[in-house]
Amino acid sequence: MENILDNAVQNGKKITVLGKTASYIPELGRVNKEYLGVCVCTGNGIYHKSGDADVRFTIQSISKVISLAVALERCGFEKTFDRVGMEPSGDSFDSLVKLDLTSDYPSNPMINSGAIAIASHLVSEVSFEKMLWFTRKLCVDDDITLDEKVYRSEMDHISRNKAIAYLLESKGILANSVEESLDFYVRMCSLSVTAASLAGFGLVLASGGIHPVTGERLLHSRVVQTVKTIMLTCGMYDGSGRFAVEVGVPSKSGVGGGILSVVDKRMGIGIFGPSLDEKGNSLAGQYVLRELSSILKLHMFADYEGE
């Protein structure tokens, strides 16, 4: 396994020059775009790592998976999907066009508008401290903290998300003020994880919501089923379709360069590669996942026997 990961990372490093870091959040723009790390977590929590798998970076949009899971646990399926749809938007993650023109609620919980709507309802349900505690558990990583610098940097450059939040408020979708909703949303985006933390979280999802080491149930299986399906259809921004065809593994990316991938019943995969393509997905990270999918036979719809 380690050899396969090393090769993929070595080759992936070569294309990190072709992408860009997410400079619309200045603190993310300053990150070294040559970083590339991967971690695969299998069995009862066995970690296989290569490259920069222990470097901390902010979780960004991957937190949308956690917020959706907690919303489903606390508010239930119907209430949650009353405020946000479950269809791919086909637009960029920070778009407000459809929300303004053709729909009364966000397309899905994996884009900014959907996640801000979910955050505004979570404000009434659960404290940020509790969310942090639960994120540590889900990621099997007690060292996750709030990255104050990134949090500040995003709060100082929040205009676009503020516009989305006001639009949501005008449509009656927010349960709390624009300020409270955005503060909760940005805090969740600013949690510092590693590729290894994401791999741990991936394994919990791959195991149907069970903690791989303690055996404790952290999420209901129906919640995990819903979350993984939405990751497959909407998790890679407006690149979700191609990624599903090429890799065939439910995944969620973030503009910090992270990707969380779940190979059902088998493994969790975490990626860190902050050099992004034009859609906001880690460029080299996607390369590594294409390689792993083909070499380790991970595509959920492939007929490897019949080939």
Q: Given the rule CB under 6 A, which residues bind ligand GLU? A: 60-61, 93-94, 112, 154, 161, 189, 254-255, 280
**Residue with smaller CB distance to ligand GLU, 61 or 89:** 61
Instruction: Tell me the Cα Rg of the chain.
Output: 18
Q: Which of 13, 33, 49, 64 is catalytic?
A: 64
Catalytic-residue membership of 24: no
Minimum gap (Å) between residue 11 Cβ and ligand GLU: 25
Catalytic-residue membership of 287: no
Measured between alpha carbons, how far is 178 from 265 in angstroms, rounded to an integer? 39
**Residue with smaller CB distance to ligand GLU, 27 or 291:** 27
**Residue with smaller CB distance to ligand GLU, 155 or 300:** 155
Minimum gap (Å) between residue 291 Cβ and ligand GLU: 23
Minimum gap (Å) between residue 194 Cβ and ligand GLU: 16
Catalytic-residue membership of 63: no
Contact 62, 198 (CB under 8 A): yes
Which residue in the shown chain puts its C-beta closest to ligand GLU?
A: 61
Phi-psi region of 262 (alpha: psi -120 to 50; beta: other; left: phi over 0): beta
Q: Which of 35, 105, 185, 287 is catalytic?
A: 185
Catalytic-residue membership of 55: no
**Residue with smaller CB distance to ligand GLU, 42 or 153:** 153
Minimum gap (Å) between residue 28 Cβ and ligand GLU: 9
Strands 192-193 and 251-253: unpaired
Minimum gap (Å) between residue 115 Cβ and ligand GLU: 8
Measured between alpha carbons, how far is 128 from 126 in angstroms, rounded to an integer? 7
- Residue 46 bridge partners (DSSP): 42
Q: Which of 50, 61, 190, 275 is catalytic?
A: 61
Measured between alpha carbons, how far is 82 from 85 in angstroms, rounded to an integer? 7
**Residue with smaller CB distance to ligand GLU, 162 or 222:** 162
Q: Which of 40, 255, 262, 263 is catalytic?
A: 255
Long-range contacts of 88-93 (CB under 8 A, 24+ apart): 88/233, 88/234, 88/238, 88/240, 88/241, 89/234, 89/238, 90/238, 91/238, 92/237, 92/238, 92/279, 92/280, 93/61, 93/237, 93/238, 93/255, 93/280
Minimum gap (Å) between residue 7 Cβ and ligand GLU: 28
Helices (H) and strands (E) in the chain, counts: 14, 7
- Residue 48 bridge partners (DSSP): 40
- Residue 192 bridge partners (DSSP): 58
Catalytic-residue membership of 61: yes
**Residue with smaller CB distance to ligand GLU, 93 or 184:** 93
Instruction: Please give the positions annotated as active site.
Output: 61, 64, 185, 237, 255
